[in-house]
Structure 1
């Protein structure tokens, strides 16, 4: 995982965005934030498991489904299975050591 401070690739209102193997972040201080880094590591693992491109297709389609469901962009984002897994486990530094393959499916 390569952390790069470059706020212009990060959507407004977000702290970072992950494109395997890079994590683009707005604030250089987030490099030292274990919770933030772990959240992005979870996304890296998800992207590797899905061979990167299918991850982004699924992510986009699920976002659209959630947007229709919730009619709110922020709520839709927080209910994407990939985000639910990452947010729920970002505080556990050992999560990726015991995480099962395609674990995000549990969060659908």
Structure 2
């Protein structure tokens, strides 16, 4: 029981750090802005699934999805180093991808999310 409580507290602390990092990143420009004819839910679920592919991302595979305002979603990795805000735009979606740096992992995540558009 004690390990479960400690694990839950650690996860809560890490989520708070990731959220703060993501909010800071949103004040700047996205790494890439894309559009899709698909609904935000369909795009977000696809990105989440793609980012969880261990064959592509190894131990860094991870994709978590949370709702945001106006029927949109944020899909993010552990630590919030890579994340996507998917929002409604007309009949489709607007996709803002944020990455900590222009690195090969950032480009791999971008390539994976581009297949969902």
Q: Give TM-score, length-normalised by structure 1.
A: 0.29
Identify which of structures 1 and 2 has the higher relative contact order when contacts are C-alpha pairs closer than 8 Å and 6+ apart. Answer: 2
Larger Rg: 2
More strand by share: 2
